[in-house]
Amino acid sequence: MLTWPNYIPIRQSISAKIKSGRLSRSKIDTRGDPIEIKVGQQKQLFIDDYVEADYPDAIDGAFGNHSYQANRTGLTANSYRQEVFMTTIRINLRQNNKMTKTEWQELEEIGYVRLGVVLPEAQIDRLCQRIDEIMLGTIRYEGMGMQLCPSAPGAGPTTSFSAEHKGSSLKYRKIQELEMDPLFLKYIQHPLFRDITRKKIGEKVGVFRSMFFNKPAGGGVPLGWHQDGRNWNLSIPEEITVYTALDAQTRENGCLTVIPYSHKECPIHTVRKEGEIQKYAPEEKRVYMEMNKGEVILLKIKLLHSSLVNTTDRPRRAFSIAFIDGDTYCTISGERYPQVLPEYHPVEKQRS
């Protein structure tokens, strides 16, 4: 079976055929990219007859163990030529709350693994509604860390992150300590994440952060290339983040972008200078993680990642959980972190 960072196997398979002369580029989607994926609950692949023979394997590789239904829905318009037809792939809800051996291997090797959609769409919608209520201030939690997006009216170019609500607006950039909210806590305690953390950490699990990352409609702040964890100063180092796309992510709305295998290339941390970007994160190494609404990715903390701004008129909301051992404390301040598994224990002193 083909392994997968992004749609590379499909692309490689197409490239091989182009090189060997069995397929001419003109036979593929005339817009240049051989395969177009429309992100949403349904993915549409524009795929050619030659690729069809390979595609069950490729798709199987692409979506790991997730079941899928592929239906040939007929020939597309003439502009795609007769050889190109449209296939609809529906990503079903993940059935298995345990990670497979292959998924663990992929995580270790590539630095991330796609886990599929973990919650039904209606429940993801409830999380979206809840985070909107928190931003608007109709639901409030004392001590919850919040930062406005500079695009919020009156926010100014630099906004600070501190433990207070900063006005009713959907233009927040980050919100932390979401484990305080029962709906988000329930999600953090999802059986799949219980399985992952039991294997990686043990029975008693905390969160260094459970954070909302927002790129409000028509804006947001670009996030430069970086690894996580360098300044966390944790007594027990941890290395996994569970990242959930609350809205579908695309290149247009500033999807998470990663450099596969970069977690092995240490230390790199923040990559700001042009020369460093060319060295560590050149365009050809980048994987734009276009995701379905509700799709979950497990990331190694040292995986180099970034994201751009949202150029669409809809928000790009995401939820990122950095799980740690429940006994971890900060080696500088001595502060402890909230425990979330097997049950929730908040910390007395709130972080700012």
Ligand X SMILES: O=C(O)CCC(=O)C(=O)O
CB of residue 242 to ligand X, shortest distance in Å: 9
**Among candidates 309, 315, 147, which has minimal Cα distance to 216?**
315
Of 169 and 176, which CB lies nearer to ligand X in the complex structure?
176
Token output for 83 = 């050889």
Q: Restricting to residues 199-258, which ones interact with ligand X according to CB under 6 A?
A: 213, 223, 228, 241, 243, 256
Of 228 and 325, which CB lies nearer to ligand X in the complex structure?
228
Q: Is 28 in the site for ligand X (CB under 6 A)?
A: no
**Among candidates 280, 269, 175, 179, which has minimal Cα distance to 226?**
269
CB of residue 329 to ligand X, shortest distance in Å: 21
Per-residue buried b or exposed e for 199-232, using 16+ beta carbons within 10 Å of the residue's own CB: ebbeebbbbbbbbbbbbbbebbbebebebbbeeb
CB of residue 2 to ligand X, shortest distance in Å: 27
Of 214 and 328, which CB lies nearer to ligand X in the complex structure?
214
CB of residue 223 to ligand X, shortest distance in Å: 5
Q: How far apart (Å, rounded) are the C-alpha atoms in residues 148 and 257?
A: 23
Judged by CB under 6 A, how many residues of this single chain contact ligand X? 10
Quick one: CA dihedral 290, 294, 297, 302, positive or negative?
Answer: positive
Pairing of strands 172-175, 146-148: antiparallel
Contact 313, 196 (CB under 8 A): no
Q: Restricting to residues 156-175, which ones interact with ligand X according to CB under 6 A?
A: none
CB of residue 234 to ligand X, shortest distance in Å: 15
3 state DSSP class of 260: coil
Q: Residue 20 burial (CB < 10 Å; 0-12/13-18/19+)?
A: exposed
Beta bridge partners of 299: 112, 241
Interface mask (CB under 6 A) for ligand X, residues 281-310, using x and -?
------------------------x-x---
CB of residue 243 to ligand X, shortest distance in Å: 5
Of 194 and 215, which CB lies nearer to ligand X in the complex structure?
215
Report the interface residues with ligand X, using CB under 6 A. Answer: 213, 223, 228, 241, 243, 256, 305, 307, 318, 320
